[in-house]
Structure 1
Amino acid sequence: MKPINPLRLILIGVILAVAGWSGTVITSRYGMATPVLPATALATMGVIVAITLILGIRVLRWRNSVKPNSTAKKTALDPLLAARTLVLAQACAYAGTVLLGWHVGIFLDQLRIWSFRSNQDITWLALGMAGGGLVMIIVGLVVERFCRIPPEDGDTKGMDGKPGRAARGEATGEGEYAYRGD
């Protein structure tokens, strides 16, 4: 599985910001309700973030459980749990990008008429949803990092050609995550 490309997240966010702004302009032109999620969606986003973080911490604890020079063996990590955690982290980051982009577009449209509105609840709600999307992105990217494991001794060759750890910054290729798919 490939790591998330931050440029892809930015592109998705910008596209959805334009779409959110356009959707708000169209709905307000025809007198329809602003297309913003209800406040209860923040609770759902919080539950998703909490579950992602809890599962990510489990993988992180497994990854950091035994020091490299220790003779003790690591307890086995369920590969299905590691794979699901990685997929959940990436889905959380992508969903957060969609929510952030859409609600930033709505916020920008509502901001231009801020002084004319007597009820500014929609503007604050859009800002809250954008903040929730940002939290989802951050947690998704952090948990994705939790799922990365360093290469094991013997997996790569050192600078002198002998088995050992890769040099700092060197790509590890396959087996980059705690889940090693076959």
Structure 2
Amino acid sequence: MSSLRFRWLAIVGLVSGLLGWLANWLTTRNGYGTPTLPLTSLVTTAVIIGITLVFGRRVLRWTNGRRDRPLDPILATRTLVLAQACAYAGAVSLGWHAGIFVDQVTLLAVRSSTAPLWGSVALMVGGMVMIVVGLVVENFCRLPPDHDATGTAEREEGEYA
């Protein structure tokens, strides 16, 4: 499995930012509400981040030498996939709400409420935290270059558990 590429995260963020800006531009100019997630979605984001960190910690403990029992390879693979999905979901959320934020800033002169603006900022921060946690937990899943599951030196550097 390949590791996350910052370039792809940036591309996903930029594309979702452009789509978010366009969606906000279309909806607000036609009398509809701002297309942001509700602030309660930060609770869901926190739960996803917590689950990712719990599974990542289990893999990290095993890779750091606490091998009193074997690591389930399915758990390690699912943890890696969860970490990468967390990072990509964070990039989408960050980009989408950054696009909305940019459009909302231009509307400050004609709007009396700044609630969509601050909601976008909060959801952008949540997206950034998801990206960081995804990258950190992905790093937890890397094996040292001189070890594999049996302790022999056959894996290449950066290979996953």
Quote the Cα distance in structure 1 between the aligned partners of 2:13 and 2:75: 29
Q: 1:92 aligns with which of 86, 103, 113?
A: 86
1:68-103 deviation digits (Å, cap 9, x = unpaired): xxxxx6531011110110010000001000000000
Greater helix share, structure number: 2
Q: 2:69 aligns with which of 69, 75, 83?
A: 75
Aligned residues: 156
Residue 154 (structure 2) aligns with: 155
Runs of at least 5 residues in structure 1 that lack an aligned partner in the other structure: 67-72, 157-171
Mapping of 1:159-178 within 5 angstroms? 172=156, 176-178=159-161
- Determine which structure has more spread, i.e. the larger CA radius of gyration: 1
Quote the Cα distance in structure 1 between the aligned partners of 2:54 and 2:97: 27
Whether 1:112 aligns to 2:112 is no
Misfit runs of 4+, over 6 Å: none
Residue 64 (structure 1) aligns with: 64
Quote the Cα distance in structure 2 between the aligned partners of 1:144 and 1:74: 22
Secondary structure of 2:33's counterpart equals: coil
Quote the Cα distance in structure 2 between the aligned partners of 1:26 and 1:91: 29
RMSD after superposition = 1.5
Give the counterpart letter for 1:176 in structure 2. Answer: E
Quote the Cα distance in structure 2 between the aligned partners of 1:33 and 1:145: 40
Normalised by the size of structure 1, how large is the TM-score? 0.81
Normalised by the size of structure 2, how large is the TM-score? 0.92
Residue 70 (structure 1) aligns with: none
